[in-house]
Structure formats: C-alpha cells, structure tokens
A and B are shown apart, each in its own frame.
Chain A
Amino acid sequence: MIQGARKRAREYNVDKNIVRGKKSARGVKRGRAAEKERKKKSNHPMPRAARSAGRAPHVRVSLPERGKGFLSGIFEGEIKLKFEDFKKFFFRKPKNALEGTEDSTEGIAQPQEAAIPEKLAVKCEKCGQIVLSDEMEENFGVCPKCGHYKKMAPRARIAMCAENFEELFADKVGKNVLGFPGYDEKIAALREKTGENEGVVCGTAEIGGVKCAVFSMDYRFMMGSMGHAVGEKITATFEYATEHGLPVVGFALSGGARMQEGIVSLMQMAKTSAAVAKHSEAGLLYISVLTDPTTGGVSASFAFEADIIVAEKGALIGFAGPRVIEQTIRQKLPEGFQRAEFQQQKGFADLIVQRKEMKEKLAQLLRLHCGEAI
C-alpha cells in the first residue's frame, strides 16, 4: 500500500516528506511566524498559483489557501480539489465501516488505495520506548518495557475477557436535548473517527463459561462521558440482565457526566442507579471493573454500586479529578493519590487485578456466584 502511495507521489512530483507526514501537503510551514512569512510573499506581482505552476502543478495550483479565496478569476474552472481532499488522499488511516462514504475526489484515486498500513511499532506513552505493535497487542496494551497500561477500546477489552459476545442496544443514540452549541458536530466527528455510535458497548457474553451481561466504556468517545445514550444503554443492560437472570460485568471508564447534555446527563446517574438497585434486589451479581480513569458522575453512581469492585492496576479512581483538587486546595497531591492501590488501601476496592489476569479472575468470581464448581 505504502509503495502505491509513494509511486503516486513520484508521479505527481510530491515531496516525499509529505507522504511520510513530515510536511503538510501544501508544502508550507505552519504556525504564526510562517503565516506572516506567507503574507509577505503574497505581495508578489504574479498570483501564487501561477508562480508555482511550473514546478508541481498538481499540488501547488490546486491547493487553495484556506479562507483567502485567491482562486477567483481564471483558475476557478479547473481547480476542484481542496486541501482537505489532498490531506485525506495521502494521510488516510486504516478504514472502518463508517468511513468511505464521502464524495469521490475527482481525478484522483479513491482514498483507500492510498491507505498506509497499521504501524509496525508504537511508542509507549509513559516511557517513550519503541515497542513492536504485535508485542504490545499480545501483552494487552501493557508496555513490556515499563508496565504502563495503555487505554483499551471497549471491544478489545470485551474480547480480552469474554467469549461469544453478542452486542445489544447498539442502535441507541442520544440527542442534543439542550441544543448545546457544537455538540452535534462533535458527536458526528467522533462517530466517524471511532466507528462507534456512542461511548459504551453493551451485550451478552460468556466469561469462564458463565453467561453474563457486559458493558464496556469507550475512552475515545469524550473520555467515556455519560449522556443520555450511555446511561440508557447501561440501564437497558441491567434491565436485560434482571429479566434474564444474568450477572453483570461492567468495565467502567469515564471522566463523568457529559456536560453538553446538562441536567439530562445528571439524571443518568439516578437512572442507572435505579436499574442497579433492581438488579441487586433480584439477587443477581454485579461486578464493576474500574479502569483508568473512573471519576465524576460515573464513579459517583453505578461504578461504585457493585457487589464486587475490581480495580485495574494503576487506574485513576476518584470523585474529582486530581487537577480540580489541586486547584481547590492549592497544593500538590502525593504520588499514587486516587490510584487503584490507594483505593484498596482506603477500603474502596475489593481487589486489584492486572490486565493479563483479568479474564481468569472474573471467571473465578462468576463461577463462585453462579453455582458451578471451579
């Protein structure tokens, strides 16, 4: 794939740095200083497009300076490509089902052909060392060098811990009840980017041979914040579990309530709690796995209402986020404050489990409650 992109780049006479992502496709520097520089240059008697026409027409001519409208006049007819199209053409990431529905970009190949393959190696966000992607994946996103836990997408987490996952309530979505400015666009962009409808994935699965209802929250979706859709899916999962006599295993990950939905998102805390209460009164087991981070309205509702509270190693768990606390009390927080180990020491987490042992531990707990011999 990458060879295809490079070959095309040669044909189009594009700087190879563009393909590698070191330069923008316009071949211009970014930033305020660069902007000034550009403004100076634009005093040139010849139009920018004409100046560069001799060198790399496909790139230089066809990329308008955004917001300047210098194309008015003779170039208008032949120039159809926008900067965004070029960016997509060269810097396409691997696709998912939601993408690829865009208008075709005239005159150039479809974006997927120029896609660059998955990275071979990733950089650990904590220690900065380069780790092979495969190795990182085999280790469930835990850095083999420093032991740092990378955040896990919801489906990967379910796949790691459970078998025979069947998704439920996938079509439940929220709406912009308050008409909050910019919220619809934000959600649309996140859907496109993640391929998920909302910030939680729910369904049924088997863990250690025990059938249960599961939910797993998505850090990519506004850090798992809870609005109507998230609250509704979790509530529906508990109701389904109550109706079918299933235990619930929930992977909590959230910065809290979603402020763009205002009071409606606050009400989700009560709604989910009520569903947890019903499930509990039916004598059913609820295991809450608190992952990094679990704070705010989610920690102050269903995440802390479980029969057994499992904290993933190193996870940040608390009511207020550390930055807010530091601002309020005007002092620095001690190392390890609000981490899983702290929560266990203070008596708020039943047990801390490492990621690689999560599946087995959950299976043990479920089997203990669901009548089968271990």
Chain B
Amino acid sequence: MSAYDIVLKSREKGRPTAVRYISEIVENFIELHGDRRFADDRAIIAGIGTISGRPVTVIGIEKGEDTNGRIEHNFGCAHPEGYRKAVRLMKQAEKFHRPVLCFVDTSGAYCGIGAEERGQSEAIASSILEMIRLKTPTLSVIIGEGGSGGALGLCAADEVWIDENATYSVISPEGCASILWKDSAKVAEASECLKLTADNLQKLGAVERVLPENGFGEEFFAKLKEDIAAFFAEKSQIPAETLIEKRYERFRKF
C-alpha cells in the first residue's frame, strides 16, 4: 500500500473515532466539560474513568462519526479552548496521581479568526509545555490523522502508539505539495516524501508501537485495553522525576 493510500485510509469514513475508543476501553467514563476560561470545545472530549480498575484521565480529539457529528465536533479541529481544557484536566490528573491517556485524530488545530484571537499558538505551546513536564504517566494513541502542532499538543507523552493505518506529520501532504511544488496534485508524491506512515515513524523513533488494526474488531480493542492497562501499571511504579527525565530524553534525541 502506498503512503497516499494510508493517508486516505486514516481519513476514511467509518473509521472508529475517539468516542468509540473511549467506550470500548474506558469503564465508568464521565465527561468533564469546558476550559473554565471561555468555552467547551466539542472537538476535544475529555473526562475521567477507569481502565481495568485504575482511574485515568482520558482526552480525545473527536472528529464525529456522521455528518451531524462532524459538524458538532468541528471535524476534529480544536480551538484554543480545547487545548486549555486538556491542560486543565492534565493538571487535575497530576493532582490526583492519575495517568493520562490521549486519543489523537485531527487534521490540525483549527485556523480561523476566533482561534487566532484567543491565542491558538499560546494554547498549543502551553499544552506541550505542561504535558512534557507532567508528574504522572502519559500515553498518546494516534488513531487516525496526527496533524502537525494540533496533534503534538496532545502527543508530548511518555510513549506514542499509532494504528497501522494512521499518520503523523508536520504538515498535510496537500499543504506540502502546494507549498513546495505549487501543485496540490502532487499529493501522492508528498505523502511518500514526508514519511508519515506508521512503519516509517517507528523507524525514526517518533512512535513506540504500531497497532495492527485487524478491521477494528472486538479483539483489537481488547488487546489495546490490555496493553494500556499494562503500560500504566508499569509506569505508575516509576518515580515522577525519573518519568520526566525519561520523557525529556525521548524528545531530546531528535
């Protein structure tokens, strides 16, 4: 499969979105709303629940499952208030020593007048800064598109896992083709050049695990749940300072 085929697959209609992952993996999920500053961004769904009995904070970028859902969730393009909600709940998780689990699926943070007025850059910068020094285990799973800064805002984690047909990139292949070659038709070529597929990302060290999708059956979610539970069980044993130091090294190597 070519890189561009994977790009198309990562955006495919009917692909499970964050809501599905949360309902399959997290028990007793209670959604918590709002950034306590401006609004509740529906592109980011966040709350608390348990995974195999362990309380966790869950933050997911939600694209929406059908047309109405996509409109409600702004196609998974978060505004600054979305990232500020994420930061608020991460700090809360830190206070109560809960690990943080993020599901990432966005073509990028929203760009528009309101987003700029409310400081999209500052919101993403703060999200990265707070997440990278959070004193509690963090895990991000890229379940569709991992689009640039908008994705990184929730990917400054101890480990990043990725679905086999998901992507993670500094820019969309369309954007790359139109900026570099002034030709958005060269999108397939750009997809190839950007090395945004799971196997390439693993080679580059940007992700730790590639998750075989197997048609997103029951087994897929059961296995993922088990892996996440084991990951948090292991990381919760590690003192916060060591955790942060390891996280620092993880990003320092690039």
Contact = CB atoms under 8 A, between A and B. Distances in A.
Contacts of B176: 259
Which of A181, A260, A304, A325 has the largest count of B CB atoms less than 10 A from its CB?
A304
Contacts of A228: 254
A325 B170 contact: no
A176 to B, nearest CB: 11
Contact of A268 (B118, B155, B254): B254
Contact of B113 (A264, A270, A329): A329
A25 interface: no
A18 interface: no
A173 interface: no
A117 interface: no
Nearest to A348: B119
A328 B206 contact: no
B32 interface: no
Contacts of A264: 204, 206, 254
B125 interface: yes
Given A273-B125, A320-B116, A324-B111, 5 more contacts: A178-B195, A273-B132, A281-B133, A348-B121, A348-B122
A338 interface: yes
A319 B156 contact: no
B124 interface: yes
Which of A264, A300, A320, A325 has the largest count of B CB atoms less than 10 A from its CB?
A300
* Interface range, B side: 35 or more
A259 B129 contact: no
A234 interface: no
B169 interface: yes
A273 B112 contact: no
Contacts of B195: 178, 262-263
Given A266-B152, A267-B251, A259 B179 contact: yes
A274 B112 CA distance: 28
Contacts of A152: none
A346 interface: yes
Given A181-B193, A333-B113, A274 B132 contact: yes
B86 to A, nearest CB: 14
Interface in A260-312: 260-271, 273-274, 276-278, 281, 295-297, 299-305
Which of B119, B155, B201 has the largest count of A CB atoms less than 10 A from its CB?
B119
Nearest to A263: B206
B1 interface: no
Consensus secondary structure, chain A interface: helix
Which of A266, A305, A329 has the largest count of B CB atoms less than 10 A from its CB?
A266
14 contacts: A257-B149, A262-B194, A262-B196, A264-B204, A265-B170, A267-B206, A269-B152, A270-B152, A270-B254, A271-B254, A274-B132, A274-B247, A274-B252, A300-B120
Consensus secondary structure, chain B interface: helix
B125 A263 contact: no
B6 to A, nearest CB: 14
A305 B129 contact: yes
A259 B194 contact: yes
A319 B148 contact: no
Nearest to B155: A270
A180 interface: yes
Interface of B: 109, 111-113, 115-122, 124-126, 128-129, 132-133, 148-149, 152-153, 155-156, 168-171, 175-176, 179-180, 193-196, 201, 204, 206, 247-248, 251-252, 254
Contacts of B156: 270, 273-274
A154 interface: no
* Interface range, A side: 35 or more
Contacts of A274: 132-133, 156, 247-248, 251-252
Given A259-B180, A297-B149, A305-B126, A325 B113 contact: yes
Given A325-B113, A328-B111, A277 B149 contact: no
A264 to B, nearest CB: 5
A276 B156 CA distance: 14
6 residue pairs, one from A and one from B, having the closest CB atoms:
A320-B111, A267-B254, A319-B120, A299-B121, A304-B125, A300-B124
A337 interface: yes
A325 B118 CA distance: 14
A338 B117 CA distance: 8
Nearest to A297: B149
A277 B133 contact: yes
Contacts of A318: 116, 120-121
B65 to A, nearest CB: 23
A329 B112 contact: yes
